[in-house]
Amino acid sequence: MTTSSLPEERLGQLRVAKLRALVGDRLGGDVVSSGPFATGAALLDDTGMASFLIEEAGPRSLGGALVWAVRQGATSVLLIVDAPAEVAGRLGREATYFDIGVSVERLVATSSEPVPPAPFDELPVAVDVPPDVQALLGAANVSVVTEHGVTRAEVHGLEVARVVESEGGVPVLEVGVGRFDREISSMMFSGVPTADALDNAVEMVSRYRAPGATIHPLRDLVPERWLRELVVAEPALVGASELSPVATTLAIDSLREAQPAAAVGTDLSGEPLVVVCTAGVDLDVVPLAADTRAFVAPDARLVICGPERNLLAPVRAVGERLHRPVEFVAVELPHTRSRS
């Protein structure tokens, strides 16, 4: 019988036992709380150390552990992850932003070893946008955003086209919402001029992505990016004088994944400001926001904005444990606003 085929209760017990074995004599006292945690286990000893085992860990695995630890009143955190070295190194870097004292270790065979914080990756360079594509984008009712080496045309934060290299190595504009839509569009509308295809995509997305719009998949994809467009257009909503889009330190390809969106600029007193927009309940938004600030503008104030109901008290509490605490500002999603 494989581990994955075990009943959840038994699997949880095994993970707790595995975590106890990995922590070993580092337990400072009696265990006062333990149990399953996501794809792993968590335990708290009576000295205040919260220990975690996270199997199949990803780059957004720190936030949930910190929420649990802070709610338990932990004074230190040991995070043991089963993850590639680059993922563990990223988590190790994020751990340095907090005053709670977070140690990150990576599973190696039957034990674990400390992980040094990874340096930031260099962002890929976007391909040059040729004049004809620049003219197409300039004539369309879109916002042009370049992140992680990709230049996109967006309507209220939703991608409707991107600049890609053709088979001949020449940059061209590929129209469509997301990768699969672009592939389908290129096959179905191969004879349609790019300008017309772009106009059609803009019109379709604009219809459903507007203040007061009814429920529709196009309305609800990547709401964080729509929220960013709103605060860039109205920076006073987050106490800024001016903002422009900037990439976070994590590239996410799927339109269905939560992907906080960032902007950088200045606050009303002229000081540097980084704003990270979130839409749903995101337990990992604080580590990602802190990492983005450290990469983009280390000396900047940091603001996380999103709907009031989703800026939960446990997430705010994690924000308070940053060496330089974050400010939370409630901003409602654009589609909840009334049409003007």
pLDDT value at 154 more than 90? yes
The pLDDT tens digits for 220-259 are 999 999 999 999 999 999 999 999 999 999 998 777 777 8
> What pLDDT was estimated at residue 153?
95
The pLDDT tens digits for 97-131 are 999 999 999 999 889 999 999 999 998 999 899 99
Phi/psi zone of residue 174: left (φ > 0), alpha (ψ -120 to 50 degrees), beta? Answer: beta
**CATH classification of 217-336 is 3.40.1350.10, yes or no?**
yes
| Pair 161, 134: CB distance under 8 Å | no
Q: pLDDT band for position 1 (50/70/90)? A: very low
pTM, two decimals, is: 0.91
Q: pLDDT band for position 318 (50/70/90)? A: very high
